[in-house]
Structure 1
């Protein structure tokens, strides 16, 4: 049996909507090829402690996307909101086993498939590919869950790999939770 320990940190994000003119210039053009299909394209600046990033959120074909960039416009990740029933059975079993072993009670608030560009594709091509093939292989699951132990009840953001193996968590403060539901 393998035991994984991670040091938690706190997620204290502040998100503010911005005009496209304040979005990193490099990343602005990434949406040109599919912007006609997009509903609700909105741009945000996000601060989490000392880290500043930028996020574009939109909806295409009933899927909610969030694409995050660093301050230079380099792609960090793409996330798509999914329902619990869309997690593959084997992966879901691994995730549930983790929660059952560590917490008295768990309630999923938000689940996302996460894609990180580990390929040789440019960021623009990778984004285009994921938008055209949203069921392609992803790298991680990100789950915001309310957990309960004997001592406490709190919100946490958990990261699992594509097979459902726990990687990390961080506490979610109430101010960062305000926008967690998208």
Structure 2
């Protein structure tokens, strides 16, 4: 991806002695610096019976969370379908997501944003304040992404180990220039925004857990 400084250098050359192009230049810079808020995440979630989910998904959950009752859901977006097991284990709320074939995608753990390391928490809040005119955090989840073996070892160790990519998924009620709505904001492990999508849900209860 071309860096912002390189874009600026190129456009300065283009607009030299052409002052009428300056408004377009500043519009381009603003768009380049602002996270994309135009995307919407259309999502529908409904319960499914445990005996209807792929065997590999059911075995993974039962093997690691054998004393916890899992509730299974089918999650449909405008482009994909996934299967999700939601459960409480050792005092923590887990969401384990699989694709339709039963291949694990990620594990999310419900946390309080105050539990994050101070510098990461501050960067996340600064980025939220820069993205929204006003915002309120509704839900914060720690997200682990990795292979099945890596995720299994992380769950057993109760911490991310080698092979795990750590991210943070935060749902906010936010206001932009054009809309006030729920947004799903994905951050990397340092607190940098990776994506921002407006959520269109049939049931707001899905935002909580």
Q: Same fold (TM over 0.5)?
A: yes
Instruction: Identify which of structures 1 and 2 has the higher relative contact order when contacts are C-alpha pairs closer than 8 Å and 6+ apart.
Output: 1
Using the TM superposition, name which of 132-141 and 75-84 deviates more: 132-141
Q: Show structure 1 runs of 5+ residues with no match.
A: none
Q: Show structure 2 runs of 5+ residues with no match.
A: 5-32
From 132, 138, 147, give the equivalent of 2:174. Answer: 147
In the superposition, relative to structure 1, how do residues 69 and 8 fare at CA in structure 2: closer, same or farther (>3 Å)?
A: farther
From 154, 164, 168, give the equivalent of 1:130. Answer: 154
1:28 is matched with which residue?
58
Larger Cα-atom Rg: 2
For the aligned residues, what is the CA RMSD?
A: 2.1
From 22, 29, 47, give the equivalent of 1:17. Answer: 47
The answer (yes or no) to whether the contact 2:44–2:201 under 8 Å persists in 1 is: no
The answer (yes or no) to whether the contact 2:64–2:156 under 8 Å persists in 1 is: no
Instruction: Point out the structure with the larger helix share.
Output: 2
Instruction: Point out the structure with the larger strand share.
Output: 1
The answer (yes or no) to whether the contact 1:82–1:113 under 8 Å persists in 2 is: yes
1:163 is matched with which residue?
190
2:67 is matched with which residue?
37
Is 1:78 paired with 2:102? Answer: no
Distance (whole Å) between structure 1 residues aligned to residue 178 and residue 79 of structure 2 = 31
**Number of residue pairs matched by the alignment:** 176
